Structure formats: structure tokens, C-alpha cells
Amino acid sequence: MNPACGAWSLPRPCRVLVLLNPRGGKGKALQLFRSHVQPLLARADVSFTLMLTEHRNHARELVRVEELGRWDALVVMSGDGLMHEVVNGLMERPDWETAIHKPLCSLPAGSGNALAASLNHYAGYEQVTNEDLLTNCTLLLCRRLLAPMNLLSLQTASGLRLFSVLSLAWGFIADVDLESERFRRLGEMRFTLGTFLRLAALRVYKGTLAYLPVERVVSQGPAPAAVERQNQQGPTDAHLVPLQEPVPPHWTVVPEQDFVLVLALLHTHLSSEMFAAPMGQCPAGTMHLFYVRAGVSRAMLLRLFLAMEKGKHMDYDCPYLVYVPVVAFRLEPKDGKGVFAVDGELMISEAVQGQVHPDYIWMVSGCVEPQPSQKPQQGAPQREHL
């Protein structure tokens, strides 16, 4: 990481709004902010106002009406779920097109800290957890460097539209999220315990999966169905057709319909100790798609999850584990079993499809070389030479 490189950055001095969930993870977020974050911010000339969230979707409600011009960035201190709330709150504003370009910062203090772990990885830091990860991410905020990140737009059969900053999981991973909720006070250990419990009663999930692989993306204007939806708030999902219609012919339809898990992932980590995508950061407009077909043994699945800590699970060349980079997907559960987890937040099981929008949000990150598509849009931060 070259601190002298040209990069998009926050100003100095800097004013940030900190949204903190005091009940997240082990329930020590406020204590950690006072002991590990606040002293570093003071030395870096970053002033802050602290807001504590009081209930589910409170952060979503706050950013929906907040006067964003008061702040240079929104800092989210919790797990991945609170960042999910903030981004969806920004997208629900009347001025969503400019609001979504407000720089965001992830400070890990939840039981799932995948986004923070991914940003830590992109910055060139070693994989760490807990207070070490929090310190690294706070230092990134103090250095003020920004990078654009992909955003996943999702549509469900019930008409819901939402946005994901991290992942959509179905099957094994989502069930572990749900069933380990009662162990939240264990922090990230809840996922390890939940994995063993779910392995003991391994399920198969029936559904159909289709996707648009990167190499089949056609550079063209929106499809007619997409044009019809342009009056819907948010960016146009030009690669998607209505869920009641078949997927376009240039998509790939997976022939199998029995799965152990499906995972669409925008970043490298699934938690601070699960290096799920060792192939690296997704290029603009793409995401990682993994699925595990039914038939995999419990022993192999356990080996894969244990190896994932160091990103070595792909080395097994497991025939049941499939990976493909995609720009869009559709998943239709058939038997009603299982749930979806979007950024760790649970949703009912129903048909869902999504597409990636490239470089759509700005995140505090390490110093990266901007890609050709990475240029400031209206409301985006300005470039400085540090």
C-alpha cells in the first residue's frame, strides 16, 4: 500500500456520524469504541457524533431522514446487518441518487464482520479478528482513503426490492445464521458451533438456479422489461426480466435441482475467519457465485469449512463445489425449506433474482489503483493527492 498515491479521499479535518449498535456481537461495541476507536480519531483530526441504535431498522430510519450534508462520512460500528440497514435507508430517500454516494466506513463490532474483514484484506493487512480487526479498520478511516464498491440489487417474488452490500446465502449457510442466533454472545464462535450442529443434521434444498456468467454479458441498452421498471426507485436492473418469465437464453441454467448451499458474494470474506473467495476482490460489476450440489459427504463439507479460514477450500477440487463469476443470478426454491440470509439478515424463502451494479457505493478502504470505470459521480467525494 503506497500512502503517497493519488486516491479519492475524505477531507481533513473530517466530520463523521457514527451509528453504533450497543447490542451487536458480544454487546461490547460502545466500550470498544471508547477504548479503541475514539483515541485514534482524536489524533487523526476526525470529529464525530455518536448515535446508538435502539431497535431493528433504527439505523435505516435514521439515515432515511438525516441531513447528510453535515457529515463527510457515515461510520457504521456493528456487524454486517447494520451496514445493510444504512445502505437500504439511503436508497429509500427521495435524493437516493446522491445520498448513496455518501462515503461509508465499516468498523467491526458484531458477530459477523465479513465486510470489515474484506476491506482489511484489500488494504493488504494480515487476516485478524476482534480488536485487531477493529484497530485496522479505524486506521483506514484515519487515513481517509476511499474506493468504490459493487452493490447487489435484489428482487423477490413478493415484490420486495432491496440492496445488498455483501452476500445472499441460501441453504446451509443461511440456516447456520438463523440457528446460531441464540449463541450471539459467543461472537463469531457462534458460526463455528452452528456449522457443527447443522452438519449433524445435513439438509438438501430443492430449487432451480440460473446465472449470467461474466463472459456472456452483452453490452447493450436495458431490455424492454427493464425499461418498464425505470420509474421504480433505484438503478435499473438491465440484465433482469420479471420473475414470472424464463431467464434470457444467454443465461446458464444449472441442471441440478438439489443443493446443500448457494452463495452470491460481493467480497472476499464471509466472516473475519472465513476467507470464502481467495480468488480476490470482484472486478467492477461482478460477484462470486458458489454452490454445493447434493451428494457431498459431511466429512468433505467439514473439511471445506475448516479450510476456508485460510482460503484453502478451493484446493480440494471438490466436484460438488462449483464456483463461477457472474453479473446476475436467479434462485427459485421449490420445497419451501430453508431461508435466505442477505448480509446476515434473514428473509423468507421465495424466488429471488439479483444483479450487480458496478462501483455504486464509496467505502473507506486501502489505497487502490482506480479502475477506468472508477470516476466520481454526482455527489461522490473529490480526488486529492495525499
Alpha helices in the chain, H assignment, sequence order = 29-32, 38-43, 58-65, 80-91, 96-99, 114-122, 130-143, 172-179, 189-200, 224-228, 298-307
- What letters, b where the CB count within 10 A reaches 16 and e where it falls short, cover 279-312? eebbebbbbbbbbbbbebeeebbeebbebbeebe
Mapping DSSP to helix (H, G, I), strand (E, B) and coil, where does residue 134 land? helix
φ/ψ of residue 120, rounded to 5: -60, -40
Mapping DSSP to helix (H, G, I), strand (E, B) and coil, where does residue 147 land? strand
Compute the CA torsion angle 132, 138, 143, 147 (nearest 10 deg): 100
Q: What is the DSSP letter of 17?
A: E
- Note whether 140 and 16 are within 8 A (CB): no
Active-site residue, 72 included: no
Mapping DSSP to helix (H, G, I), strand (E, B) and coil, where does residue 159 land? coil
Mapping DSSP to helix (H, G, I), strand (E, B) and coil, where does residue 355 land? strand
Mapping DSSP to helix (H, G, I), strand (E, B) and coil, where does residue 141 land? helix
- Annotated catalytic residue: which of 80, 175, 343, 359? 80
- Note whether 175 and 339 are within 8 A (CB): yes
Q: What cell does 131 get?
A: 480488536
Name the residues annotated as catalytic.
80
